[in-house]
Amino acid sequence: MGSIRVISSALRPPKLRSAGREAGRLALAFVGALTVFGAFVIAKGANPLTVYSDMVRSTFFNSNSVAGVLVKACPLILAALAVAVPARAGLVNVGGEGQIVIGAVAAGGVGLALDTHVSGGMVIILMLLAGAAAGAIWAGIAGVLRLTLRVNEAISTLLLNYVAIDILLYLIYQPWKDPHGSGQPVTRQLAVPARLPLVGGTQVHVGIFIAIIATLVIWFLMERTSWGFRLRVVGGNSEAARRAGLPVNKLLLSAMLVGGALAGLGGMVHFAGAELQLRAGMTANLGYIAFLASWLARHKPINVAIAALLLASIAVAGDSLQINSGLPAATVNVLMGLVLVAVMGGWELRRKAVAA
């Protein structure tokens, strides 16, 4: 009896009122997180109201910071989509960090080898291809291991993150190190024509369009094509999908490859648009933040992009903490964590409301 009620209520179209309630709950979660974070700020001897107003003012009412948010959002949106696509098929991709790194390394290898020989536009196209291919291969390793040897992909992608970071470190400490630099373990900077062009007179590079286009394409693929539909069937019940004659393994692998390519693109965009050189710690946990953005938005492509933008603005707000309040920039991780705790804590309530 109960299950029939659940099914019938799930079939009913969502009501505006429940959407409003959802928004209210999210707002409440956000306020709760801000309050707890405020307590931490007080414990550090700073005034939370000043801190918050500084954060908002310097993040959203300052053209450089708004540009900073958009620049940070580029790789984040792409890497978050890289979690969302496999998630639709029931796969857990925790390897965004490594796929970004490998994408950046591949783009860096191609870019730094060719930027003084070939025209800028050509280099950019080759870097895009190299980044996407490298990310796809990196995620594909985990995908193949899962399908042939049943190695859990959540664990293998996580481990491969560290291998990717070690590859980056190996390259920048030895073969690719800038011989004319100050001795720091970094590559030389990408030549100007090969960098992603800036939009208008702003600090934002065209990577943001790549991210937006990718979001729309993935939305279309997920919601409007048979590939997207089949992925969701496999993610819902892979055994049923197999009996219905779907090529489950091919679908799972395709989801993983597309995901990896997206994250690899994110690495390319981050390298050729923002960092312009390979250095240690250049990804700054972007892959893990992206994972959370995708979960926050329950893997719906458009919402994923919005969640990534939100987390990017929180991350950029961290810089204002450092400048205005003298708190370390990484402090903002507490705020981000608390927002996520509050939102996740509110999830079951929503599900109960649906079931009732």
Partner 1 sequence: MSLVLDVAAGAVGGGTSILYAALGETISERAGVINLGTEGCMLVGALTGYAVAAMTGNPWFGVVAGAGAGGALAALHAMLVIERKASQLASGLVMLFVGLGITSLFGGSFVSRTINAFTPIALPGLSKIPGLGKVLFDHDALTYLSFLMAPAIWWLLFRSRWGLLIRGAGERGEVLAAYGYSPKTIQYLAVVAGGALAGVGGAQLSTAYTNSWFEGMTAGRGFIAVALVIFAAWDPLKAIAGAYLFGAALALSPALQARGYALNQFALDALPYVITVLVLVVLSRKRLHAAPEGLIRTLANAPVR
Give CA–CA dist 285/112, Å, rounded: 24
Angle between helices 301-320 and 207-224 (to 10 degrees): 150
SS (H, E, C) 323-354: HHHCCCHHHHHHHHHHHHHHHHHCHHHHHHHH
Helix, strand, coil % over all residues of the chain, rounded to 5: 75, 0, 20
User: Of 118 and 167, which has the nearer Cβ to partner 1?
Assistant: 167
Binding flag, residue 334, partner 1 (CB under 8 A): yes
The kind and range of the H/E element at 96 are helix 96-114
Binding flag, residue 163, partner 1 (CB under 8 A): yes
User: Of 3 and 201, which has the nearer Cβ to partner 1?
Assistant: 3
Sites for partner 1 among residues 128-157 (CB under 8 A): 145, 149-152, 154-156
Binding flag, residue 309, partner 1 (CB under 8 A): no
Tokens linked to 29: 């979660």
Strand partners, 279: 186
Binding flag, residue 26, partner 1 (CB under 8 A): no
Angle between helices 286-296 and 301-320 (to 10 degrees): 130
Binding flag, residue 170, partner 1 (CB under 8 A): yes
Binding flag, residue 92, partner 1 (CB under 8 A): yes
- Note whether 96 and 287 are within 8 A (CB): yes
Give CA–CA dist 147/153, Å, rounded: 9
The piece of 50-58, 60-68, 249-257, 285-293 that touches partner 1 (CB under 8 A) is: 285-293
User: Of 12 and 117, which has the nearer Cβ to partner 1?
Assistant: 12
- As measured in angstroms, the least distance from the Cβ of 177 to partner 1 is 12
Q: Which of 198, 298, 323, 355 binds partner 1 (CB under 8 A)?
A: 298
The answer to whether the Cα torsion of 190, 194, 199, 200 is positive or negative is positive
Binding flag, residue 227, partner 1 (CB under 8 A): no
SS (H, E, C) 33-44: HHHHHHHHHHHC
Binding flag, residue 160, partner 1 (CB under 8 A): yes
Q: Which of 73, 291, 301, 313 binds partner 1 (CB under 8 A)?
A: 291
- Note whether 154 and 87 are within 8 A (CB): no
Binding flag, residue 195, partner 1 (CB under 8 A): no
58-87 footprint of partner 1 as x/- string (CB under 8 A): -----------------------------x
The piece of 1-9, 21-29, 162-170, 262-270 that touches partner 1 (CB under 8 A) is: 162-170
Strand partners, 186: 279
- Note whether 296 and 307 are within 8 A (CB): yes
Q: Is 41 exposed, middle or buried (0-12, 13-18, 19+ CB in 10 A)?
A: buried
Binding flag, residue 182, partner 1 (CB under 8 A): no
Binding flag, residue 34, partner 1 (CB under 8 A): no
Binding flag, residue 162, partner 1 (CB under 8 A): yes
Longest CA–CA separation in the chain, Å? 74
User: Of 34 and 341, which has the nearer Cβ to partner 1?
Assistant: 341
- The residues binding partner 1 (CB under 8 A) are 40, 43-44, 87-88, 90, 92, 94, 145, 149-152, 154-156, 158-160, 162-163, 166-167, 169-170, 173-174, 232, 235-238, 285, 288-289, 291-292, 295, 298-299, 327-338, 340-341, 344-348, 351
